[in-house]
């Protein structure tokens, strides 16, 4: 089954759950109303469905290749990227002063989801470019912005983030790449960077590498890291390309999934030093890189939602067509497997998780828009704090979920799912990287425990719980069987989350190893409950608007009820493990493994 962008659900989540009207009432956002947003999403859907999606399987069969330092991308990628750039899609969210479209994050997010669903491998290139643009706009000098930002936003050039090294992994304190200052104000960069997505390719004439490195005399650890722009080709004062920089791709990785995306090993400075331009101030590189990282983490969460939805759509298509066994209620012959209860259970599990995660991510995007554009400083600060709490949930929960849902997609296909020609296995393989890059699930979990819960003694998390409690009151006012079931399940989930927040705050400093042993389950608990909150809101809206679109809203209501019955009950078990499992985890000494 070919990919079909779920426009109706996207628009519902944008307008009804994430508050598009509130966002477009913000200063500078007035031109991006529902009609405009719908038109943008429809054009994005056409491009993703017609141009990018057909390349997804091709990229899996014919990955990017490396020879003598040159990377050739999958046939069709270069042409599709040219159309992507020509359509202005790279600049959707970026400022108009540098040639972007200036759309709210809430409108750009569904466009990104569609692109990722069409082809994860293709979408990784613009995703990393978005992060490079954001870091430059926030921390770069006017000179750097003038030299690089417009070409990145137009899609004429692409961007990368160069963090880790062979000896470092996720521990950036171990970065050894060095940058030596030069008399002309530039630096010479020397070192090796690994796992660089689209670090080399043939789709654009220049690649702008953002590189973490140490200057002479820098403090040890993460406090001594600086950030540099090292373009593949140097840029002349008139904007034309100059000499080739001393930054070379020495190999690309052979991977389980996302095979069409070239994951490069880059070598800087083997021929005299790569010219680098300092971003911001020395020794503040990690701070600047986290601008890229946070943008990328939210985007990776959207990748999880996207691949889960693509796997769901494929599973539904197969289940409608595959005839096998008689209906349990009786039939003359075999029926399509979509009639069988367990297949419906698997499909509903996939659908409920995708819709819940999508709604939460869109709500987070809307909150980010308020944080950036509201006139009241207190409202901006409060919204930013909520958004920052939600980012590790969107990233960690949605990517974990994507692996499970893609696996269910294989299961729906049965034996044919294990065979590559059906394409179901590709989604499973592609999804597997999502819990690893841009910070593993454990890193996201440590973040939500340490920076987002302990630091403010659970204030933001408990404020979200208070909002969930208000939704429970609304459910009680509806007073029907579906809303009653949802209210009971959501209330128990919220209580489990509140108890876990209290446990973390009480023991985070006195017994950190016990608390952090349960960090991933705390992140998952937050995801289960917060997505359930959005499903509860969707349930009530579906009831209220049923007459407007009976088929869509009946499916929405039933999916929400399934979430209440089958997903939210996991919250109590997760909370129990958070409170108890850390003791046995830490009791096990390393020599007993």
Q: Is the pLDDT of residue 485 over 70?
A: yes
Write down the pLDDT at residue 328. Answer: 83
* Domain endpoint, select from 226, 252, 283: 283
Cα 179 to Cα 147, 174, 186, 440, 457: the distances in Å are: 21, 15, 9, 28, 40
Burial (CB count <10 Å: 0-12, 13-18, 19+), residue 375:
exposed
* Domain endpoint, select from 283, 298, 318: 283
Average pLDDT value over all residues in the chain? 96
Are 486 and 561 a contacting pair, CB within 8 Å? Answer: yes
The terminus-to-terminus CA distance of the chain in angstroms comes to: 45
Based on the residue annotation, tell me whether 438 is a catalytic residue of this protein: yes
Range of the domain at 412: 288-587
Write down the pLDDT at residue 330. Answer: 79
Write down the pLDDT at residue 1. Answer: 63
* Domain endpoint, select from 222, 248, 283: 283
Q: Are residues 452 and 498 in the same domain?
A: yes
Both tokens of 193, joined, read 């960077």
- CATH code of residue 451: 1.20.140.10
On whether residue 113 sits in a domain, the answer given is no
Cα separation, 63 vs 426, in Å, equals 13
Percent of the chain whose pLDDT exceeds 90: 92
Write down the pLDDT at residue 189. Answer: 98
Helices 519-545 and 481-507, axial angle in degrees (round to 10): 160
Write down the pLDDT at residue 327. Answer: 87
Domain count for the chain, please give it.
Answer: 2
What is the value of pTM for the model shown? 0.97
- Catalytic residue, from 113, 438, 472, 498: name it: 438
Cα separation, 290 vs 285, in Å, equals 9
pLDDT in tens, 27-82: 999 999 999 999 999 999 999 999 999 999 999 999 999 999 999 999 999 999 99
CB-side exposure of 506: number of CA atoms within 13 Å? 8
Report which of 198, 196, 187, 188 is spatially closest to residue 271, judged by C-alpha positions.
188
Please, which residues have CB within 8 angstroms of residue 456's CB and are 6 or more apart in sequence?
385
Are 32 and 103 a contacting pair, CB within 8 Å? Answer: yes
Write down the pLDDT at residue 158. Answer: 98
Q: Is the pLDDT of residue 141 over 70?
A: yes
Are 104 and 31 a contacting pair, CB within 8 Å? Answer: no
On whether residue 112 sits in a domain, the answer given is no
Q: Are residues 347 and 271 in the same domain?
A: no
Query: Average pLDDT of 394-413?
Result: 98
């Amino acid at each position: 089954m070919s990919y079909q962008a779920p426009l109706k659900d996207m628009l519902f989540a944008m307008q009804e759950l994430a508050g598009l009207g509130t966002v477009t009432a913000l200063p500078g956002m007035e031109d991006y109303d529902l009609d405009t947003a719908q038109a943008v999403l429809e054009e994005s859907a056409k491009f993703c469905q017609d141009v990018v999606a057909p390349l997804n399987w091709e990229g899996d069969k014919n990955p990017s290749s490396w020879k003598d330092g040159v990377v050739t991308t999958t046939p069709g990628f270069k042409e599709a990227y040219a159309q992507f750039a020509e359509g202005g899609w790279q600049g959707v969210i970026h400022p108009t002063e540098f040639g972007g479209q200036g759309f709210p994050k809430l409108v750009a997010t569904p466009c990104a989801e569609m692109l990722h669903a069409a082809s994860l491998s293709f979408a990784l290139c613009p995703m990393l470019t978005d992060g490079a643009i954001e870091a430059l706009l926030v921390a770069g000098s006017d000179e750097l912005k003038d030299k690089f930002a417009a070409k990145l936003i137009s899609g004429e050039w692409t961007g990368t983030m160069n963090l880790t090294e062979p000896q470092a992994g996720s521990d950036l304190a171990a970065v050894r790449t060095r940058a030596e200052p030069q008399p002309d104000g530039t630096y010479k960069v020397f070192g090796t960077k690994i796992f660089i997505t689209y670090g080399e390719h043939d789709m654009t004439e220049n690649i702008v590498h953002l590189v973490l490195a140490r200057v002479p005399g820098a403090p040890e650890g993460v406090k001594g890291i600086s950030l540099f722009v090292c373009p593949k080709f140097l840029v002349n004062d008139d904007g034309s390309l100059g000499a080739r920089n001393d930054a070379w791709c020495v190999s690309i990785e052979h991977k389980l999934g996302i095979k069409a995306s070239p994951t490069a090993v880059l070598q800087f400075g083997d021929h005299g030093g790569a010219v680098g331009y300092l971003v911001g101030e020395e020794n503040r590189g990690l701070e600047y890189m986290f601008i890229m990282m946070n943008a990328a983490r939210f985007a990776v969460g959207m990748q999880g939602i996207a691949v889960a939805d693509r796997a769901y759509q494929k599973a539904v298509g197969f289940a409608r067509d595959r005839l096998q066994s008689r209906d349990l209620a009786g039939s003359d012959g075999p029926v399509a497997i979509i009639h069988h209860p367990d297949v419906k259970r698997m499909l509903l599990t996939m659908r409920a998780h995708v819709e819940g995660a999508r709604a939460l991510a869109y709500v987070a995007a809307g909150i980010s828009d308020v944080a950036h554009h509201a006139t009241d400083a207190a409202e901006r600060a409060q919204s930013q704090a909520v958004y920052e709490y939600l980012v590790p949930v969107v990233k960690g929960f949605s990517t974990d979920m994507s692996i499970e849902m893609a696996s269910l997609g294989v299961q729906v296909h049965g034996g044919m799912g294990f065979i590559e020609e059906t394409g179901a296995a590709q989604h499973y393989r592609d999804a597997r990287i999502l819990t690893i890059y841009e910070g593993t699930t454990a890193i996201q979990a440590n973040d939500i425990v340490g920076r987002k819960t302990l630091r403010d003694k659970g204030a933001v998390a408990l404020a979200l719980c208070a909002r969930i409690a208000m939704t429970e009151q609304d459910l009680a006012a509806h007073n029907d069987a579906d809303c009653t079931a949802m209210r009971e399940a959501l209330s128990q989930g919220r209580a489990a989350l509140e108890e876990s927040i209290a446990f973390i705050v009480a023991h985070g400093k006195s017994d950190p190893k016990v608390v952090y042993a349960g960090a991933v389950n705390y992140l998952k608990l937050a995801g289960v409950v917060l997505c359930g909150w959005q499903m509860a809101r969707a349930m009530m809206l579906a009831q209220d608007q049923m007459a407007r679109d009976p088929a869509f809203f009946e499916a929405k209501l039933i999916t929400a009820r399934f979430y209440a019955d089958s997903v939210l009950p996991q919250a109590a078990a997760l909370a129990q493990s958070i409170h108890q499992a850390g003791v046995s985890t830490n009791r096990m000494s390393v020599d007993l493994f």
